[in-house]
Amino acid sequence: MTLRTFLSLLRGGQFRVLRSLSKAARDSHRVAFLAAGLTSGVLRRLAAGPVALDALAADLRIDPAMRDGLQAWLQAGVALGEVERRPEGYVARGTLARLLTDPNHDAAAAFVEELASLHHRLLTKAPARLRTGRPFSLSEQNARLIARSSQLAEPFICETLARVVPRHGPVKLLEIGCGAAAYLLFAAPWNPELTAVGLDLQAEAAALATENLARWHLGPRVAIAVGDIRDRTPDPSFDLATLHQNIYYFPVAERPGLLRHVRGFLKTGGRLLLTTVCQGGGSTAAVLDLWGTMTAGCGRLPDPPELVAQMGEAGFAGVTARRLVPGESFYAFVGTNPGGARP
């Protein structure tokens, strides 16, 4: 580049645009590459040690005519710093590429896949869907993937569960929207006398929960069912009901009625624990808010004072709201069923 060209780009503002675009492109390419590597299983293969190109092509059953395409894809990973090419083959190199293949970081791996699929689709397709009046639907999302990625909040939600689940004594828990059943896994050992029912709208998520419970040997104490809590007849036999990260699966106007219905499942003195991302967070919260507003049958993220008022309207007493992560819009709401007729 000549000095004249450089000065022209600088004066016209193009240099600043190109530099910003370069960074944005690299971030976008990294997420896409990592997501594809995780979904395909290639990154896990590379994390185990250097793999020769031909051996990897054979493992993936790639047509020899597409061998150059595999090499080009791997070289994109090299350019992004996530893969290293050694004489003996390719190996995972980047911090994320190595960490995300660790089963202990499965929730983070699922979130990367979610960024490249659901988040990307929401942001790119929303304007066209708005013009045609066609909302998204729950069937368009990968329920298993969402159940896995939602476990990123597990440490904060489990900390809150420990505040409301006693260590000893019989406790009957109703978890509405149980996902992968991670919080049931925490609650059951926390109190060995606890029994629970986990309910989920989506059969895929409920199947994952059932698989996990079998692996964790919790089947006799925990039952999983598929369905909508609104379709179930209230049974005031539970000590605690929980809704974790799913209040936005219900339209805003319907939330007081939903919460009132949930109160019907609680004994007098029973409590509701509701955790959710609220309005006012960063870009991830903004995309979640977009999902809620653009998905049929769902609703936007709540505002904390609004949700406190809705729980009060539903008949809960002593409602509290507590921020779970400093500086983030992630809250826990707790209310008590005072007994008496549901208003």
Q: Residues 131-176: pLDDT tens digits?
A: 999 999 988 888 889 888 988 999 999 999 999 999 999 999 999 9
CB burial of 315-328 (b: ≥16 within 10 Å; e: otherwise) equals bbeebebeebeeeb
Query: What's residue 343's pLDDT?
Result: 47
Query: What's residue 201's pLDDT?
Result: 84
pLDDT tens, position by position, 207-239: 888 888 888 887 778 999 999 999 999 999 999
Query: What's residue 1's pLDDT?
Result: 63
Residues ≥6 apart with Cβ < 8 Å to 76: 29, 33
Query: What's residue 261's pLDDT?
Result: 97
Query: What's residue 339's pLDDT?
Result: 79
Query: What's residue 341's pLDDT?
Result: 56
Split at pLDDT 50, 70, 90, the class of 13 is low
What span, in angstroms and rounded, lies between the C-alpha atoms of 242 and 236? Answer: 14
Split at pLDDT 50, 70, 90, the class of 3 is low
Query: What's residue 10's pLDDT?
Result: 56
